[in-house]
Amino acid sequence: MPVLRLKDITLPLGKKTYVMGILNVTPDSFSDGGLYFDPDSAYERAVLLKQQGVDIIDVGGQSTRPGHKTVPPEEEWERIEPVLVRLKGFDIPVSVDTFYPQVAARALEYGARMINDVSGVVSADMAEVIKRYNAAWVIMHNGGIPEGQWAPLYVHNWLKEAAHLAIELGIGSECICLDPGIGFGKDVRQNHQLILNTASVKVEGFAYLLAASRKRCIKIPAGNCEFNQCDSGTVAAHTIGILGGADIIRAHDGFGGVQAARVADAIRFSDIEG
């Protein structure tokens, strides 16, 4: 049975869907920018996500909304470090959303177990950090789809190549989690195709993360609602992904994400005995 290893924690794959709760400690994230910028507010949010039943908390100090201004590594670290201090001793794993190897190393030293890297690059520097701490590494496709290509097949091939490159850099397959990059360089239809065809996008033997929460591909068909009113639409998208075999869903609304995962799992495993 394939697993995902986060340092000393092993998550079996294929028996349940895990929920990654989002904790943005940024002033400008597209959905919740500024809400948890204060370390005390961030900690309270983490406690709430834990109470809602999430399996992983993903702490991010860098906005990835369209048109965002990239902050340097020192500023990113200043945002997340006070939160990581408060989260030491949490009994659920902490992930850090960063593409800076130096920030990743500090975060893993502080007790994080997973690095959620949205760079779209399988870098030797990041691989060295992941290997040193035996952590999990989310590798995401970041970019558009060439004209005439079917998005699910194109992204599948990219993820497969990225995973094999990471293995060549010394990372075990059990430490790799692949992400199709919903909302990163793709149009709405392409994002919908990736969600609908999750089973085709996945790469056998590797964990798969679906992160569609409150993104434009949810917002637009839901009637162009405000981002923080898109949670029901997010549940719909994530449920489709779960039925296609997504191992982890990343959600702003922990309660909704956990309910979606539990109900979708009950349905998809209903024909399995025992």
**pLDDT, average across residues 251-255:** 95
Predicted pLDDT of residue 268: 95
**pLDDT at residue 107 is higher than 60:** yes
Predicted pLDDT of residue 66: 64
pTM: 0.94
Token representation of residue 251: 């959600």
Of 45-49, 151-155, 171-175, 270-274, which gets the smallest average pLDDT?
270-274
Digit-coded pLDDT (tens) for 61-90: 987 666 667 899 999 999 999 999 999 988
Chain-centre distance of CA 210, in angstroms?
A: 7
Query: Residue ranges per domain, the chain?
Result: 3-268
Q: Catalytic site residue 250?
A: yes
Would you tell me which CATH number, out of the four given (3.30.1490.190, 3.20.20.20, 3.30.70.1730, 3.30.1130.10), belongs to the domain 3-268? 3.20.20.20
**pLDDT, average across residues 109-119:** 98
Predicted pLDDT of residue 67: 64
b (16+ CB within 10 A) / e for 55-64: bbbbbbbbbb
Length of the chain: 274
Token representation of residue 177: 């989690």
Q: Catalytic site residue 215?
A: yes
Average pLDDT, the chain: 93
Contact 43, 57 (CB under 8 A): no
Digit-coded pLDDT (tens) for 27-42: 754 454 456 668 888 8
| Phi then psi dihedrals of residue 166, to 5 deg | -60, -40
Task: Write down the catalytic residue from 79, 106, 214, 215.
Answer: 215
Task: Write down the catalytic residue from 106, 214, 216, 250.
Answer: 250
DSSP three-state, residue 44: helix
Task: Tell me how far apart the alpha carbons of residues 156 and 153 are, in angstroms, rounded to a whole number.
Answer: 5
**Structure letter (DSSP) for residue 206:** S
Digit-coded pLDDT (tens) for 153-212: 999 999 999 999 999 999 999 999 999 999 999 999 999 999 999 999 999 999 999 999
* Concatenated DSSP letters of 131-149: HHHT-EEEEE--S---TT-
Q: What is the CA radius of gyration of the chain?
A: 17
Q: Which residues contact 86 (CB under 8 A, 6 or more apart)?
A: 39, 42, 43, 46
